[in-house]
Every structure is written in C-alpha cells, then in structure tokens.
C-alpha cells in the first residue's frame, strides 16, 4: 500500500473571482477550524509529507494564517495555490511559512490575463510574485491553462517569467479540464494537436526546459490524492466523460479512505515527478519526501 505523501486540498470553495474555465468546487461548505486540524493530524498519521492548499481561493478562509502555521508546525511541506488577490493581507504568514507559492499566469499582459481571470488580476499576481521573490525564500510553481485565448502568447509569458527563473521550480501548462456537470464554458478548449504544433516546441528558450511541463488529462488520470473542502477524497478519472470519484472521507474514516484510494490510484502515475512541485525540486524532495 502506498502513502498519500502529497495531498491536494481544495480547502474552500469560496473565491474572490469567477473564472469561466474554473473546475474548482462551487458552494460547498467549509470544515470548522477544529475539523481542519483533525484532518491535518489524520494526514500526518497516514504518511502525508506535503499539502498543496488550493480551492476556490484558500486565502478566503478567515483562519488561513492559523492553518498555514499549523501545517508547518507539524513539519509538513506546504504549497499554497492562490490567485493573489488577498496576498498582501496574509503576506507575513505566507513569506514566513509557505515553501512554494502556486501563482496563475494566463497571459503576458493585462489584456490577455485579465480577459481570462477578470479585472486587476494581472497586477495582483505580478505584485505578489515580485514581493515574494524579493522578500522571501519561497519557491514558485507558475500555472497556466493553455486555452484558445493564450496559446499564441506562451513565449511571451516565458519572457515575463525570466526575472524570477532562479526560484521557479515548475511552470505547469494545464490542458483544460472540462467537467460537463460543472457548467464550464467550452470556448477555452484547444486541441492537443494544436498545442503540440504551436506551443511546446517554441518554449524553453529562457527557462530550463525541464521546468516546463504540459500536464495533460492523460497524466492526471488516477494520479492524485485530491480532497474537497469537507475532507472527501477524490481520484480524478479522466476518460471520455471526466469525473471525480469519491473514495471516502478523511475526517470520518482516514484509514479506510487510504485503503480505498489505493484501489483506485495509479501508483506509477502518482509517483511521477511531474505530479507535484515537491517531486520536481531536489531540495524540496530531500527536505520533505525522501
């Protein structure tokens, strides 16, 4: 049986934005602070070494600073995926505790990025990136969803990332995930063939090619330990009709959930370096995963 060494937790479904492509949870209730701590304890007991907080927007939780500090107190590695809207309200706890900040950049300028994420998002992410680069030791995972609106701008995104390249561990280009039941808009989708022809061959002129990864639906299939706000654990099944398959609840039945997850996850897919930023960086790996 394998341990869920790296866990992705959609810790809240609330958000400051409403991006049309978003596959995140919608209108699901948060756990209480006490139950969040119980889930973190349960994860520690199951062998978790790194938690990637995502959402929704994790910084929307009023107790997020305490959660961040609690995770680090248990010596669990922490990656925080944030749209950066509330970065400066939580700056201190982020720059002191977070090992990796996951920052979304959808375009090289306001026109393209804000066209996809909404007003003032580009300024927010660039200000957070500059601040964390100058004033913390955090590393960065940059996230870009490759869409019809930005696939011709990926080289220019690489250009604006260059000043931060010393601390970028991973630039993950996501193939758009479209769950039909979540009412996402299909206008963003490009075909993999188009990506293969126009995108990847042009990248890697400024950033190390090894840091750039196209995370396809195929790679994502059965290779996550993904938690919902309430502690339900899901395995993404990404065939013809993508869905998230629930294997149990981490608050109610941690051990049984781990066993059931083991029946569904692909151990090879889960263990691959591209699966998580903690596996992609030797120093993080030594610190948390070895």
Ligand X SMILES: C[S@@+](CC[C@H](N)C(=O)[O-])C[C@H]1O[C@@H](n2cnc3c(N)ncnc32)[C@H](O)[C@@H]1O
**From 31-39, 49-57, 213-221, 263-271, span contacting ligand SF4 (CB under 6 A):** 49-57
Give least dist CB 29 to ligand X, A: 17
DSSP 51-104: EEEEES-GGGSTTHHHHHHHHHHTT-EEEEE--STTGGGSHHHHHHH-SEEEEE
Contacts of residue 131, defined as CB under 8 A and 6 or more positions apart, other chains included, come to 87, 88, 91, 95
Partner whose binding site includes residue 174, from ligand SF4, ligand X, none (CB under 5 to 8 Å by kind) = ligand X
The yes or no reply on residue 27 touching ligand SF4 (CB under 6 A) is no
- Residue of 83, 93, 184, 223 that binds ligand SF4 (CB under 6 A): 83
DSSP 181-192: GGT--GGG---H
**Contact letters for ligand X, residues 165-204 (x by CB under 6 A):** ---------x-xx------x--------------------
- 125 or 235: whose CB is closer to ligand SF4? 125
Q: What are the tokens at 186?
A: 């299909």
Give least dist CB 213 to ligand X, A: 13
- 55 or 248: whose CB is closer to ligand SF4? 55
Give the residues lining the site for ligand X (CB under 6 A).
15, 21-24, 54-55, 57, 81-83, 104, 143, 145, 174, 176-177, 184
């Amino acid at each position: 049986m394998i341990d869920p060494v790296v866990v992705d937790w959609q810790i809240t479904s609330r958000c400051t934005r409403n991006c049309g492509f978003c596959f995140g949870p919608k209108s699901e209730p948060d756990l209480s602070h006490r139950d969040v701590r119980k889930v973190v304890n349960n994860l520690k007991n199951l062998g978790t070494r790194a938690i990637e907080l995502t959402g929704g927007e994790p910084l929307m939780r009023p107790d997020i600073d305490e959660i961040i500090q609690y995770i680090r107190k248990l010596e669990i590695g922490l990656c925080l995926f944030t749209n950066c809207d509330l970065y400066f309200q939580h700056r201190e706890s982020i720059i002191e505790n977070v090992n990796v900040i996951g920052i979304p950049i959808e375009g090289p300028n306001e026109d393209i990025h804000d066209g996809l994420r909404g007003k003032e998002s580009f300024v927010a992410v660039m200000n957070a990136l500059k601040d964390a680069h100058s004033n913390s030791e955090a590393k960065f995972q940059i996230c870009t969803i490759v869409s019809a609106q930005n696939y011709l701008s990926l080289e220019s995104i690489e250009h604006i990332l260059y000043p931060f390249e010393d601390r970028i561990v991973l630039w993950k280009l996501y193939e758009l995930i479209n769950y039909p039941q979540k009412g996402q808009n299909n206008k963003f989708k490009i075909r993999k063939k188009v990506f293969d022809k126009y995108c990847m061959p042009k990248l890697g002129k400024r950033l190390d090619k090894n840091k750039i990864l196209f995370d396809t639906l195929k790679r994502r299939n059965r290779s996550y330990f993904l938690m919902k706000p309430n502690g339900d654990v899901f395995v993404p099944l990404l065939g013809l009709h993508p869905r998230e398959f629930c294997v149990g609840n981490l608050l109610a039945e941690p051990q049984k959930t781990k066993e059931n997850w083991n029946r569904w996850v692909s151990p090879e897919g889960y263990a691959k370096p591209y699966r998580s930023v903690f596996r992609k960086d030797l120093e993080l790996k030594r610190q948390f995963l070895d």
